[in-house]
């Protein structure tokens, strides 16, 4: 089966000369959930921005069998949904329903169809009852689920979530973990939260100094690199 993501020899240097990625190899299988661990500045976010063509370095990035390039970027961005750390950057419409439907309308989908698909995504994320509420009235956990719903309407095959537990209390984290486990998409979680990674992911990859320093189960990687694990 073709991997959801296949990266070979990825290198990237910023304009100031910083070498952010130093030959990264990575695979994500269809339906798999993988946590990316590593200190701030280790290359995780730079790596993630290559997965839908927001950055372009040396090497090869394949998404669902399509090589990421300037020519394929629009198609690839429909395959990979990015969920940012701060949900407020993704929520700006007067109501939840309008926010979730926005991406579809921006693609030229007719309003009736956009509302229908937005309703399905809100049901998936448990947010149907808040469809007509203003996003700024929502809790952090509710905002996160609305942001995910907006991505789901575009029917991506891969979800990339940057620090998804930021601003969430323990109940909000638990609800989000259950939601992600029930979604069929392959997932990449950039996170420092080992407990959340244990709840959602089957594998972890550790980034250090722009390279993959190791991979294995979440517990194996946390133990090998002294990444803090929750107590049983």
pLDDT tens digits, residue range 113-140?
Answer: 999 999 999 999 999 999 999 988 999 9
Q: d(Cα 26, Cα 45) in Å, to the nearest integer?
A: 14
Q: d(Cα 131, Cα 137) in Å, to the nearest integer?
A: 12
**pLDDT tens digits, 32-56:** 999 999 999 999 999 999 998 899 9
Residue 185 lies in a domain: yes
138 contact partners, CB below 8 Å, separation of at least 6: 96, 130, 146
Residue 220 lies in a domain: yes
CATH number at residue 126: 3.40.50.300
Count of the separate structural domains present in the chain:
1
Residue 89's pLDDT is what? 76
End-to-end CA distance of the chain: 36
Residue 229 lies in a domain: no
Show the domain range for 130. Answer: 5-224
Q: Which helix (H) or strand (E) holds 186?
A: strand 186-190
CB 34 within 8 A of CB 185: no
Q: Calculate mean pLDDT across residues 61-75.
A: 93
Positive/negative CA dihedral, 132, 137, 141, 144: positive
Residue 228's pLDDT is what? 66
Residue 230 lies in a domain: no
Range of lowest pLDDT (12-26, 31-45, 76-90) = 76-90
pLDDT band at 87 (very low <50, low <70, confident <90, very high): confident
Residue 207's Cβ-side half-sphere holds a number of Cα atoms within 13 Å equal to 28
In the three-class reduction of DSSP (H, G, I as helix; E, B as strand; rest coil), residue 228 is classed as: coil
133 contact partners, CB below 8 Å, separation of at least 6: 95, 96
Q: d(Cα 88, Cα 192) in Å, to the nearest integer?
A: 21
Residue 86's pLDDT is what? 81
Q: Does the structure show a pLDDT above 50 at 231? A: no
Residue 232 lies in a domain: no
- β-strand partners of 2: none
Residue 50 lies in a domain: yes
Residue 57 lies in a domain: yes
**CA-closest candidate to residue 65, choices 27, 33, 22:** 27
* Sheet bearing 158-162, strands edge to edge: 80-83, 158-162, 186-190, 33-37, 203-208, 211-216
How many beta carbons lie within 10 A of that of residue 128, not counting itself?
Answer: 15
| Mean residue pLDDT across the chain | 93
CB 119 within 8 A of CB 128: yes
Residue 68 lies in a domain: yes
**pLDDT tens digits, 129-172:** 999 999 889 999 999 999 999 999 999 999 999 999 999 999 99
């Amino acid at each position: 089966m073709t991997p959801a993501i296949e990266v070979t020899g990825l290198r990237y240097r910023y304009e100031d000369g910083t070498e952010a990625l130093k030959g990264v190899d990575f695979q994500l299988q269809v339906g798999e959930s993988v946590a990316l661990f590593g200190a701030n500045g280790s290359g995780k976010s730079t790596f993630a921005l290559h997965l839908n063509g927001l950055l372009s370095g040396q090497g090869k990035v394949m998404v669902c069998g399509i090589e990421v390039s300037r020519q394929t970027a629009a198609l690839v961005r429909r395959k990979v949904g990015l969920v940012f750390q701060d949900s407020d950057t993704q929520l700006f419409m007067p109501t939840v329903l309008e926010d979730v439907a926005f991406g579809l309308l921006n693609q030229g989908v007719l309003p009736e169809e956009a509302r229908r698909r937005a309703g399905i995504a809100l049901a998936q994320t448990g947010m149907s009852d808040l469809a007509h509420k203003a996003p700024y009235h929502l809790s952090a956990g509710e905002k996160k689920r609305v942001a995910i719903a907006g991505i789901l309407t575009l029917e991506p095959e891969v979800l990339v979530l940057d620090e998804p537990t930021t601003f969430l209390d323990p109940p909000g984290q638990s609800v989000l973990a259950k939601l992600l486990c029930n979604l069929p998409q392959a997932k990449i979680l950039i996170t420092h939260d080992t407990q959340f990674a244990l709840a959602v992911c089957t594998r972890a990859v550790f980034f250090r100094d722009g390279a993959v320093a190791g991979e294995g189960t979440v517990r194996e990687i946390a133990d090998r690199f002294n990444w803090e694990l929750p107590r049983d």
